Amino acid sequence: MKKVITYGTFDLLHYGHINLLKRAKAQGDYLIVALSTDEFNWNSKQKKCYFSYEIRKQLLESIRYVDLVIPEECWEQKISDVKEFRVDTFVMGDDWEGEFDFLKDYCEVVYLERTPEISTTQIKSDLNKK
């Protein structure tokens, strides 16, 4: 079984997220999503989420492409996650191109094109204009 992992906040879940998850799952048989915790988002990314970790986790678990959701608690956990879960392929959006090439020593690294016209940042910006 080929295992794939991706990471993200997945706040205000939208069709761009679904496209990414569908294409990530197509890279293998089993998709693990490492979901950024509320604490990690705030302390390391200075991001305040609209939905709590638990709600975002429930949403992701309801998507047919997602097999397992684990917490992302720090930037440095990626190598240990790849080893622990015996991951074959690490997938991220191409806005992170090159950032995770250090994982190539442990697994295949794939950067997928993002859905260009949608992002959580754009949704929040549009809502603030109303």
Distances (CA, A) of 61 to 37, 55, 86, 102, 121: 15, 10, 20, 28, 23
**Annotated active-site residue in 2, 3, 45, 48:** 45
Distance, CA of 78 to chain centre: 12
Backbone phi and psi for residue 70, each to the nearest 5 degrees, phi listed first: -125, 155
Is 130 an annotated catalytic residue? Answer: no
Q: Is 47 a catalytic site residue?
A: yes
Q: Which of 2, 22, 47, 57 is catalytic?
A: 47
Which of 22, 6, 9 has the alpha carbon at shortest distance from 119? Answer: 9
* Catalytic (active-site) positions: 45, 47
